[in-house]
Chains A and B, each alone.
Chain A
Amino acid sequence: MNLNGLKQLARRIAVDRPLLLIVLIGSLSTWMTISYPEAFPHWDNFAAVLLDAAQSGILTVGMMILLVGGVFDLSIGSTLAFSGIVAGTLVKDFGASPLLAFLGGIATGFVCGSINGLIITRLRINALITTLAMQGILRGVTQLVAPAGVANLPEGFKPFGQTVFLALQSPFWVMLIVALLAWFAMNRTRFFRQFYYVGSNPRAATLSGIKVDFVVLIGFILMGTLAGLAGTLLASRLSNAVVLAGIGTELRTITAAILGGASLAGGVGTIPGAFLGVLFMSLIQNMLIIARVPVFWQSIVVGVVLLIAIGIDQLGRRGR
């Protein structure tokens, strides 16, 4: 390959976020394989990385759609915990059937998302404040309902999160289905394409006949529902609904989405980008664990990655 071709490749990688992530993931994996041959390149380790990516992935799909529409949700961690607790309480304390409990958990997320969306679009309180408030409220309600969580969930509730298919646990497959559906929706369907217009210029979107408030409302409902799904799956996987589940997930999720090409200014981002962003974050996490880096470092690394990703986004915009 000549020099010109190399230059073009470098430029494409810098502009094309998914491609950049693939290159990063590839080189990181190679490096890990060489540095930690006994711990990294094994199927069990990959399965763990993918399982870790499953929960963030489900959430990041929703967050990506919101960010494309120019908004975001900080209450997802609390929604996740609350939904798990509701599902656990239903199946354990109220004797509901596992399926009903599972659906109940998802419905809880649906309701939380609807409340967020209605407050934001009807009362015109901005997304930051609304979802920050909901983060606190829902976490408190969760502790109120089940101060110690719901432990030892019945056997019948386990299959949702613990079934192994093709050597991978079910949450990964659920995430894959969610991501594929969302990919199709954001790329192809008329309704979801509207998120790009709303995020790019809400005023112009209104003047083009798009019902901006309705689009935003659906975005939050979807986000809440996905958080409910993730929370219920987590409870099922751990056989245990944990009150403090999901703390800090909003940071990881927003970081993954921004890494994947979303911008706080709205209007850009893709589902494949979000998927790769999540994979990259899980890989970093895995790397830190294998390298025996203390846990608190993980949070520091995630914060730094978020700043770098936003920095790249800003630089890219200034270049225009």
Chain B
Amino acid sequence: MDTNDAECRTLAPYDVEDPPRLSVRGMAKSFPGVVALDNVSLEVLPGEIHAVVGENGAGKSTLMHIVVGVYQPDRGQMEIDGIPYAPVDERSAQQRGVAMVFQEGSLFPSLNIAENIFAGRQPVTSLGMVDFQQIHNHTKDLLRELDLSVDYRVLVSDLSPSQRQLVEIAKALSQQVRILILDEPTSSLTISEARQLFKILHRLAERGVAVIYVTHRLAEVFEVADRVTVLKDGRVTGVRRIVETTQDELIHLEVGRELSFAPDPIRAPADAPVVLEVEDVVAPGVANASLRVREGEIVCLAGLVGAGRTELCESIFGIRQLVSGRMWVGGTEFTPRHPLDAMQAGIGMVPEDRREAGLFLAMSVAANIVAANMDSVSRNGTIIDAEVERLASRMAETLNIVTPNLEREVMFLSGGNQQKVLLARWLARRPRLLIIDEPTRGVDVGTKSDLYSLLRELARKGVAYLVVSSDLPEVLALAHKIVVMSEGRTVGELDASQADEVTILQIATPGGVAREGGRS
């Protein structure tokens, strides 16, 4: 391997005067109702590992999708090595040496490594047959270069996530890649696998490949990158050399915005009865979680994507079975095997993915509200239409659902009204505890503020909430108490009045301050 490295290094004769490998200027892109990118510029040098960081929705993915030709920008230019570059699709991006390593899904699990790397562009012999000799030799070289010690005939379905990722990188390398983009590459890797990946990226950079590394894990940026561009709400808020910046500065660049909603001044009394207690719960995706929610309290679960917040909620609601640990609802021990058990204990849940897991899109507003309330609108197993009508119209009125009538299919409602329909479904049950995963995703600002006041008002009447939100201003505005999760564990608990975004992010970031303090 050492000799290989040495060879690589001699292959990087890049001069400082060369134009940047990739230059993006004045990039703008809007989707209906959202400005995803607003005048974004990015410059990546040959042989550089350039990190792009930002919160969810900052525009990282949109920018990368433009660079690889998946989206077309509204405005803005790009150049590669000083020559204009305007890809119309992924294929034209590949022809200019731009490749993106996807998290998953671009490999064929039932084909072997070599077949995957050369999918769709197998070299042929003079007789028009696939030149397997060449494919195999080439693949062997690539695998050696990436320190991937598996045979090229192994099926991709038999590889670990990290090995699959290396195959994706090998695929990019086989196409004479000049700009390699990785989007959250370590999300499914262990720490040692991530280190291995970093080593390989450094080696590629030494060969002159420009690497763009998209991540929300700031700790990694300091391990792998040379420079970093920070995005926030579709704009660039800073470009820094890694040696001249700190994690705290990057967090400030990521967050730095005003709170749009004032926090709730009223708190549930500290001695209010505990509605839900979770102790040392271990479940698929949850490494160890403990928390308490009191009557009238809004507890927000904060953390990065993949921190296990949704998984914890699903365990409480009976969708995931506990491996170990205990839960109590209202002081009674509680082991839900099905959402029905959780419902009977007085728990409701509005899931994260409204369209996939929440709504019956082709069914009416009334039918959607009644879905979890069939017991209260029927007698002796027979549904009473008048009761359905009464319940649906009462809830539609309480939540101010905007719909022409209750027979309208929910697919025609706006995102905000769809969310209200889901809340109506559960609030009609008068739950003791309502779990809401991402309460305002895809909801307009006006409805957002409606929802906040509604939740607060009901909290004052004693309803307890467990809210998952990736939107930190929302967490700060809505929460009475904040429980921070990181890598499947509950790692910190803050009173909302003492919390700010920087503190939360520091606790939530793996390898951050809290982790080092907590584990050593």
| Interface residue? B24 (CB, 8 A) | no
Q: Which residue of B lies closest to A206 (CB)?
A: B339
Given contacts A201-B361, A267-B363, contact A208 B372 (CB under 8 A): yes
Q: How far is the CB of B392 from chain A (nearest CB, A)?
A: 14
CB of B357 within 8 A of CB of A204, answer yes
| Interface residue? A211 (CB, 8 A) | yes
Q: Pick the contact of A206: B319, B367, B425 (CB < 8 A).
A: B319
Q: Determine the chain A residues whose CB is within 8 A of the CB of B381 once the complex forms.
A: 189-191
| Interface residue? B362 (CB, 8 A) | yes
| Interface residue? B351 (CB, 8 A) | yes
Q: How far is the CB of A258 from chain B (nearest CB, A)?
A: 16
Q: Which residue of A lies closest to B384 (CB)?
A: A188
Chain B positions near chain A (C-beta within 8 angstroms)? 317, 319, 338-340, 343, 349, 351, 356-363, 367, 371-372, 374-375, 378, 381-383, 411, 425
A window 199-252: CB within 8 A of B: 200-201, 203-211
For B319, B356, B357, B359, the residue with the greatest tally of chain A CB atoms inside 10 Å of its CB is B357
Q: Pick the contact of B363: A200, A206, A209 (CB < 8 A).
A: A200
List the 9 shortest-distance A-B pairs measured between CB atoms, nearest first: A200-B360, A208-B372, A209-B340, A208-B371, A190-B378, A209-B343, A203-B357, A190-B374, A201-B360
Q: Pick the contact of A203: B356, B374, B375 (CB < 8 A).
A: B356
Q: Determine the chain B residues whose CB is within 8 A of the CB of A210 once the complex forms.
A: 340, 371
CB of B367 within 8 A of CB of A209, answer no
CB of B371 within 8 A of CB of A204, answer yes
Q: How far is the CB of B366 from chain A (nearest CB, A)?
A: 12
Q: Which residue of A lies closest to B349 (CB)?
A: A207
Given contacts A189-B382, A191-B381, A208-B425, contact A267 B362 (CB under 8 A): yes
- 6 pairs from A and B in contact (CB 8 Å cutoff): A189-B382, A197-B363, A201-B359, A207-B351, A209-B372, A267-B360
We find that the number of chain A residues with CB closer than 8 angstroms to chain B is 22
For the complex, give the distance between the alpha carbons of A208 and B348 in Å.
9
Q: Determine the chain B residues whose CB is within 8 A of the CB of A205 once the complex forms.
A: 360, 371
CB of B349 within 8 A of CB of A190, answer no
Given contacts A189-B383, A190-B374, contact A211 B363 (CB under 8 A): no
CB of B340 within 8 A of CB of A204, answer no
Q: Determine the chain A residues whose CB is within 8 A of the CB of B367 once the complex forms.
A: 196-197
CB of A204 within 8 A of CB of B359, answer yes
Given contacts A190-B378, A190-B381, contact A209 B359 (CB under 8 A): no
Q: How far is the CB of B432 from chain A (nearest CB, A)?
A: 15
CB of A188 within 8 A of CB of B371, answer no
Q: Determine the chain A residues whose CB is within 8 A of the CB of B382 once the complex forms.
A: 188-190
| Interface residue? A268 (CB, 8 A) | yes
A 66-99 binary contact with B (CB < 8 Å = 1; else 0)? 0000000000000000000000000000000000
Q: Determine the chain B residues whose CB is within 8 A of the CB of A211 once the complex forms.
A: 338, 340
Q: Determine the chain B residues whose CB is within 8 A of the CB of A201 once the complex forms.
A: 356-357, 359-361
For the complex, give the distance between the alpha carbons of A261 and B477 in Å.
48
| Interface residue? A158 (CB, 8 A) | no
| Interface residue? A320 (CB, 8 A) | yes
CB of B349 within 8 A of CB of A200, answer no
Q: Determine the chain A residues whose CB is within 8 A of the CB of B362 once the complex forms.
A: 200, 267-268
For the complex, give the distance between the alpha carbons of A103 and B3 in Å.
83
For the complex, give the distance between the alpha carbons of A205 and B363 in Å.
12
CB of A207 within 8 A of CB of B383, answer no
Q: How far is the CB of B468 from chain A (nearest CB, A)?
A: 15
CB of B383 within 8 A of CB of A188, answer yes
Q: Determine the chain A residues whose CB is within 8 A of the CB of B356 once the complex forms.
A: 201, 203-204
Q: Which residue of A lies closest to B350 (CB)?
A: A207
Q: How far is the CB of A164 from chain B (nearest CB, A)?
A: 34
Q: Pick the contact of A204: B317, B319, B360, B375 (CB < 8 A).
A: B360
**Supplied contacts A191-B381, A200-B362, 15 more A-B pairs, CB within 8 Å:** A189-B378, A189-B382, A189-B383, A190-B381, A193-B374, A193-B383, A197-B360, A200-B360, A200-B361, A204-B357, A204-B360, A206-B319, A207-B358, A210-B371, A211-B340
Q: Determine the chain A residues whose CB is within 8 A of the CB of B378 once the complex forms.
A: 189-190
Q: Which residue of B lies closest to A184 (CB)?
A: B382
Q: Determine the chain A residues whose CB is within 8 A of the CB of B340 once the complex forms.
A: 209-211
For the complex, give the distance between the alpha carbons of A206 and B356 in Å.
12
For the complex, give the distance between the alpha carbons of A267 and B360 in Å.
9
Q: Determine the chain A residues whose CB is within 8 A of the CB of B338 once the complex forms.
A: 206, 209, 211
